[in-house]
Amino acid sequence: MTLKACKKAEKMDREFQKKFKFEGSISVLTQMMVDPAATEKRGGAKNLPLRRGEILDVIQFTNQEQILCRNSQRKYGYVPRAMMLPL
């Protein structure tokens, strides 16, 4: 990563921690795939936009309905657990 890209990634991580009130270091628990049969969804206030077959990094299993994830563009948000498949 270049210095500029590294600083941009750090800034996005700080914004994520502030928006989601996430404390501690950000670590990836596992990776999961969005169900290829699911409909694509646009993101909302705290929801992550989804594309079929996209692989997401799981940051936190928040509850029985949602998972906190990060996509390949380093955007964070909640994803419905029913739309996720293990790799």
Quick: pLDDT tens for 5-44.
889 888 888 888 898 888 888 889 999 999 998 888 887 7
Strand-pair category, 84-86 with 30-34: antiparallel
Q: Catalogue all structural domains in the chain, each as residue range(s) with its CATH number.
A: 23-86 (2.30.30.40)
- pLDDT on residue 32: 94
Tell me: pLDDT of 1 over 70.
no
For the segment 53-65, the average pLDDT, to the nearest whole number, is: 91
The pLDDT score that the predictor gives to residue 68 is 92
Q: What is the pLDDT of residue 40?
A: 80
Smallest CA-to-CA distance from 67 within 87, 37, 47 is with: 47
